[in-house]
Structure 1
Amino acid sequence: MLDWKPPFRTNVVGSDSSSPNVSAAPSRESTPHTMHRPEMSPDASLVLVGIRGCGKRSLGFVAAAALKRKFITADYYFQETTGVTRKEYLKSHGSQKFQRRDIEVLQMMLDNNQKQCIIELGLGSLTRPVQDHLRQYCKKNPVVHLIRDINRIQQLLGLDDEAVRLLRDGDSSHRACSNYEFYNCEDRTVVVSDDGSPDRRSGDYSFKLQEVKEDFTRFVSFVTGANVNHSSYDSPFVLLETPPELRSFTHAIFVRSSDLIADAVNLPELESGGDAIELCVDRWSPQLVATVSEQVSVLRRNARTPVILSIDTVALAAEARDQSPAQASRSYFDILEHGLRLGVEYLVVDLGQDQSQLAQIVRSRGKTKIIGQHIFEASARITWEDENCVAFYRDAEKLGCQLVRLLRVAVQREENAAVAQFTRRIGRLPGTHPPLIAYNIGPLGRTSQIFNSILTAVKHPAIVRLEENGYQCDPQLTSADIMRALCQSYMLDPLNFYILGKDVAYSVSPAMHNAAIQYCGLSHKYSIPDSPSLAVVDRLGRDPNFGGASVVQPWRVEVYQKLASKSRHAEAIGAINTIMPLRAAPNGSMFPLQEQASRRGQAGRPLGFFGENTDWVGIMTCITRHLSPRNAISAPKTTGLVIGAGGMARAATYALLRLGCRKIFIYNRTQSRGEEVARHFNSWASSQVDSTEVVRVLRSTQDDWPADALPPSLIASCVPADPDRDEPPANFEMPMQWLGSPTGGVVLELSYKPLDTPLLRQMRQFRSETGRPWVLSDGLENVIEQGIAQFELMTGRKAPRRLMTREVLRNYEGEGGFRFDEKTIQARLDGVYSM
């Protein structure tokens, strides 16, 4: 159950209120005023503030690695400026002179590093002069207030209750001098020792920030507008690159604050079943802001989709009956402002609220998109045919909303046809206008909910209420319900998907894809062709119900030659593992790619194939998941090693290049094939990253590691450990002289037949003997990740990650009939499995 205790108290005084330089916190917890959140430069420095133990140093490393920026700490800058440490300066000059000098240095640090930096402020951020400086800094830079559960901080730092009170009292003032906030959720992957502290001896400790690293990377990417999505395809087929409002039949999982407080949500299951997640605030309390911070963070962690924040004003009014109308209005706008502080992707505003305050929210939105909303009650005289409906849409557009959501409580089924006509009417307006979300709510509005194309609110099986709350706005259907209805009404067609290649009878792909298809409510089928041969590719090119195919060895090269179009990534790698049909328009021409992507659920005559590669995405995902902040990729320093020279080795090399690694070595038993791969990518790099030799070939495992490069911290083994054709197994093990990385790193074993390869056994023993934090990833992890990316490419639906993972693990059969037991499967699903 979630602990909803606030991370700090609400009636706060400064920890040293007698000092004129120490800030006194505001008397109420809610946001004191609307902060500056203008269009900031993508390279504006990002500042982190917060109390001890909130994670500033760790998250600072994460942000610096993600954004490829310099990380500056207050301690480092003080010593660089004064020549001595803080402790030494305090001892030599006394507390008053130290405090004045510390404030001066902090202000200099901010002023002299306004671009391309991550700045961590220490306790000096609690002083009034520095906070005044930060308020001005917020006008051009993101200043992020980090918060964390105070009980966890007390446990980690070993503090007594009085020390915790002082920390908590001082932290409240940080809200007034920052424009963003991030709640630092605990990682489920942290391995703890007997006393409850993180176990630094564990092999897992090196990636103990795995989940929060992903959370904070997405957060800083969003608030800065910087592109840290290394998996970027620049393709309309990739869900992450096309916002939900620009895709067809997207859904938002609807969760109420009260659901989370009542522990009525199975949080891990929220990772599928919607393209976004909507948190509806429906509970009022003096600690409301702190509660919303934690709930947004918890939903981000589990759903991994954009967050929509909305407010149920009726429910809040019922909760806070003692509030005056003015207080209720202030509470409403405090929540909106706080949503902007949290960097939610979408914020819903009630078009009936005070227009001047709404305009202020729109002006200070930063990167958040505003959804202007109006709900027509059943008693309202306005109908969908009424001109006032168009007026509401126009008002939202004039206000500056990026989307408009109009809902009406249906009292008869005929209103579903009326809302469809209204949607078409708005679509015919000349020029460019905000996307419209319009449907009827309540049981009689389900038909319009099915056919609404953008961000329909849906319920989810993971939300189990003991009794229905009776709210008329709550959704009636799940995403799978809607997709099944669209298939049954022939809006979407049943499509056939295949795996193409030699020796695919043992593949776990059919089990993985079919489970996901069924979960999403689709009517497709994924199978192995009856007569596997290259001729089947030509037959699929004539099948109007062909939806796509996974392509494995040895057909990747042959199918590559048959493509009408391919992604730039597939072209750079020189290999594909996924093909999709490119369908004909009614006039016989080929639909453009954007239109092809939006028609993925519809049959039609293919005119050719589009080729893609998801192997590199799977490899890159595994690397970034397991890479510790200490081993963050730095172009001048990080060294990668790829074993092999086949298609998977090409994907691994490309993944390392995309991640920023600029020193990559290849070892292959047949040296000429390794040299061919090196020439290919050096030619590519010369035009892409302004470097002529990023990939080099190692000649022998007997040689020392090259003296002009650091030992590798990223290792990808791409050779089969099982017999390949008539050749013996590779049985590769790392030469000991190549394992010199003092900070360990990541080893990816891409073979999964057998799963426990000689390389993995060697690295476990080496880790145990040396204590170096090498993190190991077996071949099934990559199979799952590339399959998830492949499913989303081919179907256009968000993949149910946990379900697909479970199906792969349940259906995998290794040497000697080995199968995973349920305990191990659950450990891998929960992210606490250690190799």
Structure 2
Amino acid sequence: MLERKYRVREPVDSNHSTACADPTRDSSLPAMHPPDLTPPRTFAPDASLILVGIRGCGKRSLGFVAATALKRRFITEDHYFKEITGVTRHGYLKEHGSQEFQRRDIEVVKQMIDNHRTGCVIECGLGSLTRPVQDHLRRISTTNPVVHVVRDIDRIQQLLGLDDQSVRLLREGDPLHRTCSNFEFYNVEDRTRVVSEDGSPDPRSAAYSFKLQEVKEDLTRFVRFVTGVDVNHSSYDSPFVLLETPPELRSFTHAIFVRSSDLLADNVNLPELESGGDAIELCVDRWGPETPTVISKQVSVLRRNARIPIILSVDTSSTSVGKERDQLRTYFDILEHGLRLAVEYLVVDLGQDRSQLARIIRARGKTKIIGQHVLEASSRVKWEDDGCLSLYNEAEKLGCQLVRLLRVATSREENATVLEFTNRIRALPGQHAPLIAYNIGRLGRTSQVFNSILTGVTHPAITRETENDLDALITSRDAVRALFQSYVLDPLKFCILGARVSYSLSPAMHNAAIQHCGLGHVYRIPDSPSLAVLDEFRRDPNFGGSSVVRPWRVELYHKLAAKSRHAEAIGAINTIMPLRGTSDGTMYSLQEQASRRNQAGPVLGWYGENTDWVGIMTCIARHLSPRNAISAKTTGLVIGAGGMARAAIYAMLRLGCRKIFIYNRTQSRAEEVARHFNSWAASQVDSAEVVRVLRSLQDDWPDDASPPSMIASCVPADPDGDEPPANFEMPMQWLGSPTGGVVLEMAYKPLDTPLLQQMRRIRNDNGRPWVLSDGLENVIEQGIAQFELMTGRKAPRRLMTLEVLRHYEGESGRFDEETIQARLDGICS
């Protein structure tokens, strides 16, 4: 079979640690489970999650992260052993000897697992290296997620100071964990960031990171996917939000195609993959003894850098995967490993053994299966034939969630017939699997542009020495530009509305992102920004949307025809977008609106969203240390009572905080905000009072609440009405948190506010680890979310951040290049 994307290169030197030996049974992927015992990956919602792995892989730290993310009890083998026996493991070994200790340890581990089958995260220590516990875990894996944690063995040796003999034993024992688990997580090291000269974790002076910050984000997404939290919604809260709508439900989405060999050869500039696609397809085109760990690491590295769904595929064009039994087993072992990694999508070759394909599909868990068939140039099956329809129907019957049909183009005319076939599938009655269909090769580029979902694309970050005709992929930027040039998409006008927007940084970052993504839009500041300009916008079919800042966040909220659940919960917006419809006044559904957001048309009403809370939540989550992980005792404090303060309260609620205090100089406005959220919380989070009002800056902190570890100052930099300017300072009696916390300053004119100056003095005086986030950071984060909301394209985070830093002008002028680089690394690394 000829496949333009799935071509295996020649094997590399067999002495290389990631080399691929000849793909026989003895040198390919080890079978994880016998074919008839493939573990399921669908569990009860509260099924406990179990972590296994060798010493030093990070099970305990990751277990704490997972328990926090899932809001579950965390149980460790060491703690449970002492709880049951009354002594530590070391003490028991010293008193009873190794044989009795091992017998008792196995007994305790099995008891720990059996007695906590639901509602927990369990860390299995050294017990998981014994055969009886591994046999027990195999049985448990039929009802619970058992995650094998993997880490670079050289890094483990360095961390634990092990000799070579100990490392050899660990290296030999770790693969056994694959036989008793049903998932795998590769623990990629957090990237080292520079800190300020005094060593303080202050992103204002340089980049910083708490230990495990990045892996915390990676693992949180992983365990939420594995356990089914927020996966497979019956309906999506907002079709405009990329994170809430999968790429197959959006228009003109792209999958960046990366070969495993590209990564091995260091042909990919990983940080640049942050934009330019809606998913990443990792094609495994080499395999050998080290393949499982190589693939695991590559998936984790791609997730770390791109933070978009992963599609895993396997090269089947090589003779390495042919008709030989062992070679076919290799192919299905790789698919099985992909399911272990909980990739969002797995591509299966519909030409392979149907019974084996059915086994993989039954074990898919939350992973979506893409059934694929590639038609060679010599194939008798044409797009206009019933044979193509039969291939699609067979994939659906097999249980595939998506179907991908590709054909090697031999003429440009075939680009028209593939569109006709796509329309034929869309016309089928009832619900059907989304179809990915286009021609491949240089003659097929037109059909690649017009394919609606998950078109394979290349990326400027990927460099290869040679390309053949079938590897000739377009970039996402090229495809988007072609859609504008062919009038499928329309150039739109975007702007910012607010009382004082002359110094807004939004035009700089939005226009840079627009150009980067190949969009034909423009973002500007209106000549006379006022609410009256909305009438002008409503008459303009090319109006695309607007950012909204103080003082109209709440006022415009009441002029909307529709709003997201987030905006409704907050009671304020910072983004409006036009709702369009047909010429007879029929308004499209919200899903249709999202699909048409880059197309002009009559404006029939306004849709409102709020991304301020996204920016605030991102900043808090980034800077909150593990010691301040949100729990039942966590307290938040918000200063101010405007739209931004509402967003801050909602962000804290979304993070899980249920005790939030608000202070505002005008007490009645604070009470109004508190009533709003307490009313909302009563029906949404089953809590009667989540927001309380602080009446005076002279009051002591309430005795029935912990001092705040999350503080957001939302008073304006340029005062308006009865709002105070941004010269607020915290009462000392409110800063009693022994572990410090996060202080977010929303004002950025001036950038170095009195509050931030005060908090640095306090931090220096008492040594408490308060982490400070200034207003620019939130501007960037909410702007990134807003760009994706208004355009439906993945935002170039690093570029947008760079534009804000380059265009910001404070009291001392613009940042120098060294400061820009430090801040850029702190936000984007």
Q: TM-score range by the shorter chain?
A: over 0.9
**Equivalent residue, structure 2, for 1:395:** 394
**Equivalent residue, structure 1, for 2:313:** 310
CA distance in 2 between counterparts of 1:209 and 1:260 reads 24
Paired letter, 2:500? D
Match of 1:49 among 26, 48, 52: 52
Deviations 1:661-696 (A, max 9, x none): 111111222223222222222222222222222211
Q: Structure 1 residue 822 and structure 2 residue 825: aligned?
A: no
Check conservation: 1:254, 1:475, Cα contact below 8 A: no
Paired letter, 1:813? E
Check conservation: 2:18, 2:291, Cα contact below 8 A: no
**Equivalent residue, structure 1, for 2:580:** 583
What pairs up with 1:657-736 in 2 under 5 angstroms?
657-724=653-720, 729-736=725-732
Q: Structure 1 residue 745 and structure 2 residue 741: aligned?
A: yes
Check conservation: 2:49, 2:146, Cα contact below 8 A: yes
CA RMSD of aligned residues (A): 2.6
CA distance in 2 between counterparts of 1:570 and 1:498 reads 20
Alpha-carbon shift at residue 241 of structure 1 (Å): 1.2
Check conservation: 2:18, 2:290, Cα contact below 8 A: no
Paired letter, 1:439? Y
Secondary structure of the residue aligned to 2:286 is coil
**Equivalent residue, structure 2, for 1:413:** 412
CA distance in 2 between counterparts of 1:358 and 1:788 reads 40
Paired letter, 2:819? T
Deviations 1:529-552 (A, max 9, x none): 122222101111121111100011
Judged with a 3 Å threshold, the aligned counterparts in structure 2 of structure 1 residues 229 and 669 are, in CA distance, closer, same or farther, namely farther
CA distance in 1 between counterparts of 2:113 and 2:87 reads 20
Alpha-carbon shift at residue 429 of structure 1 (Å): 2.1
Q: Structure 1 residue 105 and structure 2 residue 108: aligned?
A: yes
Paired letter, 2:624? L
Q: Structure 1 residue 66 and structure 2 residue 62: aligned?
A: no
**Equivalent residue, structure 2, for 1:30:** 30
Secondary structure of the residue aligned to 1:207 is coil
CA distance in 2 between counterparts of 1:206 and 1:480 reads 32
Match of 1:213 among 193, 213, 216: 216
Secondary structure of the residue aligned to 1:710 is coil
**Equivalent residue, structure 2, for 1:376:** 375
**Equivalent residue, structure 1, for 2:4:** none
Judged with a 3 Å threshold, the aligned counterparts in structure 2 of structure 1 residues 805 and 833 are, in CA distance, closer, same or farther, namely closer
Check conservation: 1:189, 1:210, Cα contact below 8 A: no
Judged with a 3 Å threshold, the aligned counterparts in structure 2 of structure 1 residues 177 and 311 are, in CA distance, closer, same or farther, namely same
Deviations 1:202-241 (A, max 9, x none): 66887221111111111111111013999x9811111111
Alpha-carbon shift at residue 590 of structure 1 (Å): 1.3
Deviations 1:348-393 (A, max 9, x none): 1111111111111111111111111111111222211222212211
Structure 1, 250-259 or 421-430: larger mean CA deviation:
421-430
Judged with a 3 Å threshold, the aligned counterparts in structure 2 of structure 1 residues 193 and 158 are, in CA distance, closer, same or farther, namely farther
**Equivalent residue, structure 2, for 1:773:** 769
Deviations 1:244-287 (A, max 9, x none): 11111110001111111111111001010000000011123321
Paired letter, 1:275? D
Paired letter, 2:576? I
Deviations 1:89-125 (A, max 9, x none): 2222222221111111111111111111100010000
Structure 1, 724-733 or 47-56: larger mean CA deviation:
724-733
Check conservation: 2:29, 2:288, Cα contact below 8 A: no
Structure 1, 694-703 or 101-110: larger mean CA deviation:
694-703
Judged with a 3 Å threshold, the aligned counterparts in structure 2 of structure 1 residues 428 and 324 are, in CA distance, closer, same or farther, namely closer
Check conservation: 2:208, 2:826, Cα contact below 8 A: no
Check conservation: 1:564, 1:608, Cα contact below 8 A: yes
Alpha-carbon shift at residue 403 of structure 1 (Å): 0.7
CA distance in 1 between counterparts of 2:629 and 2:17 reads 33
**Equivalent residue, structure 2, for 1:569:** 566
Q: Structure 1 residue 364 and structure 2 residue 359: aligned?
A: no
Check conservation: 1:806, 1:825, Cα contact below 8 A: yes
CA distance in 1 between counterparts of 2:284 and 2:772 reads 41
**Equivalent residue, structure 1, for 2:3:** none
The normalised TM-score by structure 2 is 0.93
Check conservation: 1:66, 1:228, Cα contact below 8 A: no
CA distance in 2 between counterparts of 1:686 and 1:85 reads 45
**Equivalent residue, structure 2, for 1:148:** 151
Secondary structure of the residue aligned to 2:189 is coil
Alpha-carbon shift at residue 347 of structure 1 (Å): 0.6
Judged with a 3 Å threshold, the aligned counterparts in structure 2 of structure 1 residues 357 and 369 are, in CA distance, closer, same or farther, namely same
Structure 1, 763-772 or 69-78: larger mean CA deviation:
763-772
The normalised TM-score by structure 1 is 0.92
CA distance in 1 between counterparts of 2:20 and 2:756 reads 49
Gaps of 5+ in 1: 11-25
Secondary structure of the residue aligned to 1:407 is strand
Deviations 1:280-314 (A, max 9, x none): 11123321111111111111111110000111122
What pairs up with 1:435-454 in 2 under 5 angstroms?
435-454=434-453
Alpha-carbon shift at residue 191 of structure 1 (Å): 6.2
Secondary structure of the residue aligned to 2:695 is coil
Q: Structure 1 residue 598 and structure 2 residue 598: aligned?
A: no
Paired letter, 1:703? D
Secondary structure of the residue aligned to 2:812 is helix
**Equivalent residue, structure 2, for 1:245:** 248
Paired letter, 2:735? L
Secondary structure of the residue aligned to 2:534 is helix
Check conservation: 1:722, 1:754, Cα contact below 8 A: no
**Equivalent residue, structure 1, for 2:274:** 271
Percent identical pairs in the alignment equals 75
Judged with a 3 Å threshold, the aligned counterparts in structure 2 of structure 1 residues 476 and 336 are, in CA distance, closer, same or farther, namely same
What pairs up with 1:523-542 in 2 under 5 angstroms?
523-542=520-539
Check conservation: 1:8, 1:150, Cα contact below 8 A: no
Alpha-carbon shift at residue 46 of structure 1 (Å): 0.4
Check conservation: 1:6, 1:149, Cα contact below 8 A: no
Alpha-carbon shift at residue 189 of structure 1 (Å): 4.1
CA distance in 2 between counterparts of 1:825 and 1:395 reads 55
Secondary structure of the residue aligned to 1:498 is strand
Paired letter, 1:278? E
Match of 2:612 among 591, 599, 615: 615
What pairs up with 1:45-194 in 2 under 5 angstroms?
45-189=48-192
Check conservation: 2:726, 2:753, Cα contact below 8 A: no
Alpha-carbon shift at residue 597 of structure 1 (Å): 1.1
Secondary structure of the residue aligned to 1:609 is strand
Gaps of 5+ in 2: 1-14
**Equivalent residue, structure 1, for 2:262:** 259
Check conservation: 1:43, 1:226, Cα contact below 8 A: no
Alpha-carbon shift at residue 560 of structure 1 (Å): 2.2
Deviations 1:441-496 (A, max 9, x none): 0000011001100100011011122x124261x35211111111111111111111
CA distance in 2 between counterparts of 1:201 and 1:728 reads 30
